Amino acid sequence: MNGEASLLKLGTRGSPLAMWQARWAKAALESAHRGLKVEIVEVDSAGDVDLKTPLVQMGAVGIFTKTLEHELLEGRIDLAVHSLKDVPAQLAEGTEIVAVSEREDPRDVIFLREGSSYEDLPVGAKVATGSLRRRAQLRALRPDLEMVALRGNLNTRWRKFEEGQFDAMILAAAGVIRLGWADRISQYIPLEVLLPAVGQGIVGIQTLQESDAAEIVGVIDHAETHARARAERSLLARVAGGCVVPLAGFAELVGDKLRLRARLGSPEGGDLLVAEAAGPVADAMAIGERVGAELLDLGGGEIVAAAKALARRST
């Protein structure tokens, strides 16, 4: 920054969690660069405008990110901040994820009306989640559960829970923690039960490639988390093919190696396809591609085809 004052416009959705992410990015950037000012610009995405239709029925990837990408490409903002799990594998041409935050707790959490564990759910219990990934993994363990679509911000979801519209609600731990609701959690669900979504718990910052903003933002990148994210997003690209699929992927560093685990299954229940691989951190993207290819070889192509057919019927 060379000590000169500068302004960056940061685009974000207006939800409470998105605003938390934007304030984090603003604080991190202004702390890293003397004289820099970051202005937060709220942008409504398609996913924010339509809060009633279940996500799986909206028939498109990137419903929370495409509007922000458009604003970025049009030059009305300099950077966009996202929950990385909402970002499609294919970014808008000419853009890149320049920096990511350190990963928050990647697990899912459950809120229960009664009991203290998902294992306490009675037969036929109604479980609220809008995630195909969670449905596939839960139904593999508990085919008796009734899955209920869940939309809206955290306050709206909590109101529905308190009204008794369902017996349990599952959310990502990261968002609950960041908004100060950790004391309401009934259980942090073990990774062995629910493997997270690709990028879960990570905040990503997107800019135009090789722009001044990209250089400025790169300083706050958390390198370890970014390596894990590259492996997971490479897996997503190999499996999803631009479609919303019931895929779980989680990378972690074990010593000097990167280990990636993945699951793919039908949200209607049945066996889960499981794959994993490990290797040097520098090979993160190749590891993701390898795990993705293994899932497809195990029969994942049929699950992806079914997801694409559902998306076509929903549009």
Active site residues: 86
For residue 71, CA distances in Å to 28, 88, 114, 314 come to 22, 17, 45, 26
| Residues 304 and 312: beta-carbon distance below 8 Å | no
**CA 86 – CA 122 distance, rounded (Å):** 31
Q: Give the C-alpha separation, 47 to 65, whole Å.
A: 9
Per-residue CA distances from 188 to 40, 156, 176, 194, 269 (Å): 32, 21, 11, 10, 22
Distance in angstroms (rounded) separating the CA atoms of residues 216 and 227? 20
Closest CA to 291 of 231, 241, 244, 245: 231
Beta-sheet strand order (sheet of 273-280): 247-254, 257-264, 273-280
Q: Which two tokens stand for residue 194?
A: 């629910």
* Residues sharing a CB contact under 8 Å with residue 245, sequence separation 6 or more, in sequence order: 132, 239, 264, 303, 304, 307
Tokens of 177: 């923690």
For residue 302, count CB atoms less than 10 angstroms from its CB and return exposed for 0-12, middle for 13-18, buried for 19 or more: exposed
Task: Say how far apart CA 49 and CA 96 lie, in whole Å.
Answer: 25
